[in-house]
Amino acid sequence: MPYRIGADIGGSFTDFAVLDETSGAIRTLKVFSRPDAPGAEVVEGARILAERAGIPPGEVTYFTHGTTVGVNSVIQRKGIALALFTTRNFEDVLEMARLKIADMYNLLSRRPEVLIPRERVFGIDGRLDADGSEESALDEASVLEAVEAARAAGAEGIVIALLHAYRNPAHELAAKAIVQRIAPDMPVFTSAEVWPIIREYERTITAVISGYVQPRIARYLTSLQEALASVGIACGLRVTKSNGGVMTADQAKRDCIQMVLSGTASGVIGAAYVARLAKLRNCLSLDVGGTSADVALITDGEPRFGTGEFIGEFQVFIPSVSVASIGDGGGSIAWVDEHGVLKVGPESAGSSPGPVCYGRGGSRPTITDAFAVNGWIGQTPLGYGAVTVDRDAARRAIGTLAGRLGKGVEETASAIIEIAVSGMYAGVSAVVSRYGIDPRSFSLLAFGGAGPMIASFLAREIGIRHVVVPTTPGVLSALGGLIADLKNDFVRTVFRDLTAEALPELAQELAGLKQRGEAWLRQDQGYHGPAELSVSAELRYKGQSFELETPVQAEWIDGGDLGAIAEAFHAEHRRIYGHFDRRASLQIVALRLVAAGRAPKPELPAAPPADGPVAIAGSASIHLDGAWREVPLISRASLGAGHVFAGPAVVTQDDCTTCVLPGHIVRVDGYGIMHIERELAEGEAP
């Protein structure tokens, strides 16, 4: 029988979702991640799936993978030492950036240190005009001089970002050829090949991040490919992308900027799938893993997309699922600073040694340890039996902090949880302010190994009444990668007034984008199903500084329907800003095309109907709101469609634990999805 596997390698666990293409059944698994030996966790997962689930590696026909190795390389500053070649007199492009203060509410804030210091930035001679025509030829001698200077400065790779390369890449490609001729051992990257967008800083920083992480990503993916081959999985490796699609691993090694947000995007795609099943019109997805918590906005079952998402301290200007990091993960470490103040994060215990209660050598208390001390977890093993929670060890670890604070152990554990929730509250507040939404009208869809554990605490603080927990929340990111479509973005900067005179050029550029999109699907990805080509235009009123991406029909461009294009922009401008101006002239800055090939989607089976009342597996002593209380312990596997029960309660399953607070009612829908709804207080508006 053929099987499709989605894997998500996180900071603590590696998750697997396996789809039986014959029966449609989905199996799941968690194993500990192995950052010390990339690919080892995949070998272990394949072994367990073969032994326990009878899934032979040779029958795996599709394997896709989401990873955070790219974003972690930037956050931890573990990329290669790069040199940057710019047009002469534009050497300060990274330092100048956009001349924005790092934190608009902190006048003393500082911008992050650049990834390429000024002593490794070199100007070369040659100049293009804004229309792409050559003002002065590229000077080979200056390129040779820059290469020698880069070597002397310790550079391990070179990024070339020259003025107006988005219109004409000739100078960048010529400089690249010179570097490859005299320094064939040195990787070289050009901004036009990475992502040819207008604006020098945006194009340059995107190319810099791509070059910064490329060697590490390439080595990582090669190790993973070798690991798959070693266990007999011969279908090839696909990688989830920042835009919510997938691509081959070989392409990911070259175009690694496209997968730098791979892991977080997989989770949002999985969450959007569940939102459609649960018929949620508006929801915030909450993905809490071992190292971080991320939130995304999902409307009518579709996630928001955008450009300019942050990779650590830097923005990257590629199309991506809009995900905001809002706080700490389950493995984030609690500590007391020199002033005696309790803090949580940003350092994480990761997979090794992990939280103290995991018994893998950890000694510093984490958020997960706080939940263990207060009784929310530890009644059953975690991670498919991989972890037996040691609550006594967690108490001893948090006891060291309690002693410094002069508080009780449970009180300190509660404070750790409250600090984590307050950090997430601030992060969610920033997200909802950015989109201008009222969180009280949204549901909170919680997933990740720690998401359902902390979701009700967060929802209580921000006023969300409805929390949704999928059937397999701990491995939803792996499922997201499994169902993600083949998808790639293409852009062509044109920068013309939107007039009849521009139509021939627009039609020509669109034809080129279509050709590239079809070739990417058929030749690069080996896809032979129906292709979906979506077109948009970056438009603005003449005189505006920034543009809006506006969906348009290819027929409007090919048929010269300027009125339809203009009306689409007016509508988008009104939707975003509340006003529009039909009298104003328009400019088209760029054409974009998304090429997609649909992946098969599993049909999740209906949950078995409730057979009698909710089965109580036992009881748990939890410390909540300053007091101990006994609450029912419920196994998720025993719940059927139609079951209803009231909180407080603890719901256990193989991949996570769900905490249900007092005043909440849990209902199980026809797919087995849990809906946790807070009861209205007297006089409270629904």
Q: 322 pLDDT band (50/70/90 cuts)?
A: confident
Q: How do residues 595-635 score in pLDDT, each as one tens digit?
A: 999 887 777 778 889 888 999 999 999 999 899 999 999 99
pLDDT at position 517 is: 95
Is 154 inside any structural domain? yes
pLDDT at position 686 is: 58
Same structural domain for residues 117 and 177?
yes
pLDDT at position 684 is: 59
Report the share of the chain in percent with pLDDT over 90: 61
Same structural domain for residues 143 and 180?
yes
Amino acid at 679: E
Is 293 inside any structural domain? no
In this structure, the dihedral spanned by the alpha carbons of residues 91, 156, 35 and 233, taken in order and rounded to 10 degrees, is 110
Query: Of 186, 205, 237, which one is at a domain's C-terminal end?
Result: 186
Same structural domain for residues 642 and 560?
no
Same structural domain for residues 128 and 47?
no
Q: Answer whether 610's CB lies under 8 Å from 666's CB.
A: no
Listing DSSP states for 561-580 in one string gives -HHHHHHHHHHHHHHHHS--
Is 566 inside any structural domain? yes
How many domains in the chain? 4
Averaged pLDDT, 73-97: 92
Same structural domain for residues 87 and 42?
no
**Is residue 346 predicted with pLDDT exceeding 80?**
yes
Same structural domain for residues 85 and 64?
no
Q: 109 pLDDT band (50/70/90 cuts)?
A: confident
More confident residue, 672 or 432: 672
pLDDT at position 596 is: 94
Is 351 inside any structural domain? no
**Is residue 682 predicted with pLDDT exceeding 60?**
no
pLDDT at position 395 is: 95
Same structural domain for residues 106 and 12?
no
pLDDT at position 108 is: 81
Same structural domain for residues 176 and 92?
yes
Identify the CATH number of the domain in which residue 517 sits. Answer: 3.30.1490
**Is residue 362 predicted with pLDDT exceeding 90?**
no
d(CA 605, CA 593): 35
Is 557 inside any structural domain? yes
Averaged pLDDT, 130-140: 94
Query: Of 186, 205, 236, which one is at a domain's C-terminal end?
Result: 186
pLDDT at position 685 is: 58
Structure tokens at 41: 């966790």
**Is residue 679 predicted with pLDDT exceeding 70?**
yes
Same structural domain for residues 505 and 537?
yes
Distances (CA, A) of 474 to 4, 51, 197, 427: 18, 22, 37, 22
Averaged pLDDT, 276-281: 92
Identify the CATH number of the domain in which residue 57 sits. Answer: 3.30.420.40
**Is residue 175 predicted with pLDDT exceeding 80?**
yes
Mean pLDDT of all residues in the chain?
90
**Is residue 104 predicted with pLDDT exceeding 90?**
no
Most confident of 71-75, 255-259, 359-363, 541-545: 541-545
d(CA 23, CA 26): 9
Is 381 inside any structural domain? no
Q: Which of 43-47, 105-109, 146-150 has the lowest mean pLDDT?
A: 105-109
Averaged pLDDT, 198-222: 93
Same structural domain for residues 38 and 137?
no
Q: How do residues 437-496 score in pLDDT, each as one tens digit?
A: 888 899 999 998 899 999 999 999 999 999 999 998 988 988 898 889 999 999 999 999
Averaged pLDDT, 154-158: 96
Q: 680 pLDDT band (50/70/90 cuts)?
A: low
Domain that holds residue 630: 618-678
**Is residue 683 predicted with pLDDT exceeding 60?**
no
Cα angle: 433, vertex 439, 440; to 5 degrees:
145
pLDDT at position 106 is: 76
For residue 10, give the nearest of 379, 291, 330 by alpha carbon: 291
Residues paired with residue 677 on neighbouring β-strands, in sequence order: 466, 665
Is 646 inside any structural domain? yes
Q: Which of 9-18, 295-304, 336-345 has the lowest mean pLDDT?
A: 9-18
**Is residue 113 predicted with pLDDT exceeding 70?**
yes
pLDDT at position 497 is: 95
Same structural domain for residues 90 and 178?
yes
Distances (CA, A) of 137 to 21, 88, 196, 635, 679: 57, 13, 21, 72, 72
pLDDT at position 20 is: 85
Is 289 inside any structural domain? no
Query: Of 142, 168, 186, which one is at a domain's C-terminal end?
Result: 186
Query: Which 3 state secondary structure label does DSSP give 513?
Result: helix
Report the share of the chain in percent with pLDDT over 70: 99
CA end-to-end span of the chain: 49
